[in-house]
Structure 1
Amino acid sequence: MPTSALPQAGTLGVWNIAAERPEATAVIDPDGTEISYGELTAKANSYARGLQALGLETGDAIVVLQPNGVELLAAYFAAIQSGLYVVMVNWHLVGPEVAYILSDSGAKAFLAHERFGEVAVAAAEEAGVPERARFAVGEVAGFHRIEELGSGEGDGRPGRRTSGSPMLYTSGTTGRPKGVRRPLSGADPDQVPAASTWFFGIYGLSPFDGHVHLCGSPLYHTAVLNFVVISIQLGHPAVLMDRWDPEEMLRLIERYRVTHSHMVPTQFRRLLALPEEVRGRYDVSSLRNMIHGAAPCPLEVKRQMLDWWGPVVTEYYAATEGGGTVISGEEWLRKPGSVGRPWPGSTVTVLDESGAELPPGEVGTVYMKMGDSTFEYHKDREKTEKSRVGDLFTLGDVGHLDEDGYLYLHDRKNDMIISGGVNIYPAEIEGELVMHPKVADVAVFGVPHDDWGEEIKAVVQPAEGVEPNDELTGELLEYAGSRLARFKLPRSIDYAEQLPRDPNGKLYKRKLRDPYWQGRDRAI
């Protein structure tokens, strides 16, 4: 547990907790430093005063290019209390990509980190961010040190306080990424939105109930940021990791008596790959709810995690744009493969190509919405309208509902293979192949075939020490043949040293698939 006592029951919200229990631990930085609520809000107040002194007004945007740490969270809370949009940038992007987000969001300030200094300088120059609006943690050429932001602007809270909002950019698998921009609420930033306590209530997480959150993924991801921010707002200290490592995660769980986290299936697989003696070395009995989403989880991986950690593994399916489903570990054992039923207030339905609702068991495109929530893709009305049927929107996923209202995902619509007129879902094939001990990762997709339209291709990342050769191909095809119908079997296997995934587990399949289709039109 953090050395400072956890916040006791009191008023929700980071500034309210700081007023009542300033010494209570809010964040444990990746280097082990414990930051109190008082210290976190003091930084956030200073940065907010500095941003207002720069002339930023309600509705303006700032862009943050920083690793997990208290500085990033201080920048977030500075924006959230100042009526600003805050854009957390994926630090794997290169200069021109960051420059695009700076320009597209209309950023009036850029807060970077020296670790990404070269990219930050290139992006700021290309986007034309004035030097007076550039700040960095550490030394970056042409940037002011972050300590100067708000220095000399007095103490306490900023003069103008109204709730801001994160502005998250979608992955941009087709064309440029698009910012999801919601109308500002005009609410008091000291008041925690009812949606936050409601959202954590879905997972059985209540304010001031002794919970400790562990963050092992980059905070530029929507769900990761949401879980950390809401945890802090509800009095749950957040333990931050800079680079995720399976054994280090187990150590932190034991050290801080972690109760909940947000994870992805790739992390589950790496945890399961640890030697039995390493897994048994750490006490994980404090775990209450380990929540995962963002990517499909192979059934066998899920079963093994439930065997190890017990029914504390909860799965969800959701979107930055709003709405989703959830399923507990106990429910999943009754409904293996499902991603659950809709959240309270959320609508999830399956429609055919004409927009008509399909009955249970029929496969179609998954659409959803969250209450009366609205959004638009920033500067992209066409994409906004294309994703909608009435007030419902889709991420392009294909699935079905069962008779009890549980959703089962089959695959992304754009990833579906149509071979000889038959629909084939790569996720099912990937889920089987990835369980072979000689496979570290796998992607399955369609490639051109003159007669069938498409045939099934697998690209495999071999496990460490495994040689990719014809013998391995034969072994993997034989293994797949014992678990899948013949029409689902890959017709060929290629090999790659590393598949293109982001740190949150999302696979950029187009990077693998597109070279096979160069000069050809896809069937879908």
Structure 2
Amino acid sequence: MSAVAGTPRRNQPTAAAAAAVAARTVPELLDWRCALHPERVAIEVHGVDQLTFAAWQAGARAVAATLHADGIAAGDRVGLVFGARDWTGYAVAYCGVLLAGAVAVPLSDRLAPSQLAYALRHCDARLVIHGPLAAGVTAAGPPTPPGVAVRTVADLVADGSSSVGSGSVGSGSAAEVRPDDLAQILYTSGTTGQPKGVGASHANLVAGAPTQARRLALAHSQRFLHAFPIGTNAGQTMLFNALTAKATASTMARFTPARFARLVAAPGTGTVFLVPSMAIELLDSGALRGRDTSGVVLIGSTAAALPPAVAARLAATFPAATIVNYYSSTEAAPAQTVMIYDPGRRAAVGRAVDGQLRIADEQGSPLPPGSVGQVWLRCAHPRAYYRDEGANRATFQDGWVRMGDLGRLDADGYLYLADRHQDMIKSGAFKISTLEVEAALHEHPAVAEAAVLAVPHPVLGAAVAAVVVPRPDLTGTDLTLASVRAFLADRLADHQLPARLVLTEALPRNEAGKVLKRQLTTLFGEHRPVDDHDSIWRVP
């Protein structure tokens, strides 16, 4: 059942509602969208719940009224701990917190207690709001630091509904919200260390939002499908797509290839958003076999680099779809590069929207096309790390955001990533891109997933090591270090070939789908080669 019940039906959009409106804050964006399409379903969790724009607005107003009555002040941080089953309740809580002038801190219910406690302590949260079905949540709510109050979104809506009028927010229940006010703190996935809180203003979050009804995004679809978790940048992008797209945001309580495939082939699904690991699992599962995918016209991949071989498989599986790779980060959003799959530019990750992209040296000076250097994206309303001025100085400069990646631009402005700065392997006199080696490994017919990292070498300093997940339908295929090196010999230089190989059933990933390479390094210290002539280890 929806988090908001009994919402009165609204009339059709008025001429004023359809007029051009430039939303400056997230509550203004929701109000505008509700005026346009009050009874349209904004978000649906397949088989669980759905939320109309009218119910979204009414619920947010009720939450804001309760927060105001409970003493939550403008700028206070409020943790939102929700699971995939309760996207509708999360959306209501998120906009209610922002309408009250407070700061939303989205957090997945799948976080370990220590991870959740760290984020809540770091942002000094005053309150945690959670859904009724969050994993590990007892009657007392999720584990929180001492002194942090805990409420359910249903209770907040119920308590606030009586004070909310049908046409206004209610006397004193909403704070004055300004475009430059901090709206959310999103914690990074922590692939290289303790997660950092990335703060975004209202102006940042509504940047690029449509101002006219006829310019709503994804108009070619009745629904867009995703399975991104709450608490990630990809998940937040889907939330704002729900506010700005003509299509309904559709998701599911739990991702499985079979469930996802059924929704992909359902009538009206015109757009599908994936992360590369999810795309690989879906393609390898066989769940799409025999299904009609002709209704899908757009496949969007985000959160990690899409291997060219996987992009080619998606193009073959969805012949009517445009395959698009989006390159951004939690720190840089909404700035991004966009790449429509092009077999002639297999390794490119696209060109920047509005050309706000540069390659620079370590001092930040721009480098000419073809030079490898630091990748920077520019954002009109930049984000910043919360309570970390040292990291801010290293990452954010005059609207530019250091991506932490090495790359180059070609003469046409297309970006090619060399590697993550910390992942680049320095072996003897060579610098080796792990992304390039991984892309080549993905072309092997028996390789489902691959991660490449450096391991110590007594002479070269470092050598190339590969961790490979074999495709489940090709388990009988011979995968040895010698056979893999022979396959790669025509694709890579000798110094790029793996010197070590581990086969495993799965790669460790964070909530955003990124591989945790720090965890993989332990495999090479804990296991020994099968024999002296074949440095391959099998890890369950």
Change in Cα spacing, 1:92 to 1:347, as seen in structure 2 (3 Å) is same
Residue 457 of structure 1, CA deviation:
1.1
Q: Deviations over 1:9-32 (max 9, x none)?
A: 936743344345433222222325
Aligned: 1:221 with 2:237? no
Q: Deviations over 1:186-214 (max 9, x none)?
A: x9xxxx9452239x99xx96386655221
Change in Cα spacing, 1:279 to 1:137, as seen in structure 2 (3 Å) is farther
Change in Cα spacing, 1:53 to 1:403, as seen in structure 2 (3 Å) is same
CA contact (8 A) 1:442 1:460 kept: yes
Change in Cα spacing, 1:20 to 1:95, as seen in structure 2 (3 Å) is same
Q: Deviations over 1:333-389 (max 9, x none)?
A: 342211111111x52111223433222112111112123x23321111111112245
Q: State which drifts further: 237-246 or 160-169.
A: 160-169
Change in Cα spacing, 1:57 to 1:126, as seen in structure 2 (3 Å) is closer
The aligned residue for residue 92 of structure 2 is 74
291, 298, 303: which one pairs with 1:289?
Answer: 298
SS class of match (1:259)? strand
The aligned residue for residue 343 of structure 1 is 353
Aligned: 1:427 with 2:435? yes
Aligned: 1:109 with 2:127? yes
Aligned: 1:266 with 2:277? yes
Cα distance in 1 for residues equivalent to 2:448 and 2:207: 42
Residue 173 of structure 1, CA deviation:
2.9
Cα distance in 2 for residues equivalent to 1:251 and 1:432: 31
Residue type of the partner of 2:289?
R
Change in Cα spacing, 1:471 to 1:308, as seen in structure 2 (3 Å) is closer
Change in Cα spacing, 1:226 to 1:473, as seen in structure 2 (3 Å) is same
The aligned residue for residue 327 of structure 1 is 339
Change in Cα spacing, 1:123 to 1:423, as seen in structure 2 (3 Å) is farther
The aligned residue for residue 505 of structure 2 is 497
Residue 75 of structure 1, CA deviation:
0.9
Aligned: 1:363 with 2:377? no
Cα distance in 1 for residues equivalent to 2:30 and 2:137: 32
The aligned residue for residue 65 of structure 1 is 81
293, 311, 336: which one pairs with 1:302?
Answer: 311
Cα distance in 1 for residues equivalent to 2:144 and 2:127: 14
Q: Deviations over 1:109-163 (max 9, x none)?
A: 1012455454689996551244xx312379xxxxxx5665536544452522544
Cα distance in 2 for residues equivalent to 1:117 and 1:393: 35
202, 206, 210: which one pairs with 1:197?
Answer: 210
Residue 466 of structure 1, CA deviation:
7.1
Residue 324 of structure 1, CA deviation:
1.9
Q: Which runs of 5+ in 1 are unaligned?
A: 139-144, 519-524
Residue type of the partner of 1:160?
A
Change in Cα spacing, 1:253 to 1:431, as seen in structure 2 (3 Å) is same
CA contact (8 A) 2:385 2:391 kept: yes
248, 258, 267: which one pairs with 1:247?
Answer: 258
CA contact (8 A) 2:42 2:53 kept: yes
CA contact (8 A) 2:73 2:101 kept: yes
327, 341, 356: which one pairs with 1:317?
Answer: 327
Change in Cα spacing, 1:402 to 1:106, as seen in structure 2 (3 Å) is same
Cα distance in 1 for residues equivalent to 2:68 and 2:83: 24
Q: Which runs of 5+ in 2 are unaligned?
A: 1-8, 22-28, 527-540
CA contact (8 A) 2:110 2:135 kept: no
Alignment of 1:455-474 (within 5 A): 455-464=463-472, 472-474=480-482
CA contact (8 A) 1:51 1:149 kept: no
TM-score when normalising by structure 2? 0.81
Aligned: 1:18 with 2:18? no
Number of corresponding residues = 492
SS class of match (1:46)? helix
CA contact (8 A) 1:340 1:406 kept: yes
CA contact (8 A) 1:232 1:238 kept: no
Cα distance in 1 for residues equivalent to 2:490 and 2:483: 11
164, 173, 178: which one pairs with 2:191?
Answer: 173
SS class of match (1:167)? strand
Cα distance in 1 for residues equivalent to 2:281 and 2:174: 46
Aligned: 1:448 with 2:427? no
Cα distance in 2 for residues equivalent to 1:209 and 1:484: 41
Q: Deviations over 1:466-514 (max 9, x none)?
A: 7799963433333233432211111111233321113432111112126
Residue 165 of structure 1, CA deviation:
2.0
The aligned residue for residue 417 of structure 1 is 425
Change in Cα spacing, 1:337 to 1:205, as seen in structure 2 (3 Å) is farther
The aligned residue for residue 289 of structure 2 is 279
Residue type of the partner of 2:311?
K
The aligned residue for residue 141 of structure 1 is none
RMSD over aligned Cα atoms: 3.4
Q: State which drifts further: 210-219 or 102-111.
A: 210-219
Residue type of the partner of 2:370?
G
Change in Cα spacing, 1:207 to 1:459, as seen in structure 2 (3 Å) is closer
CA contact (8 A) 1:311 1:328 kept: no
Q: State which drifts further: 14-23 or 265-274.
A: 14-23
Residue type of the partner of 2:309?
E
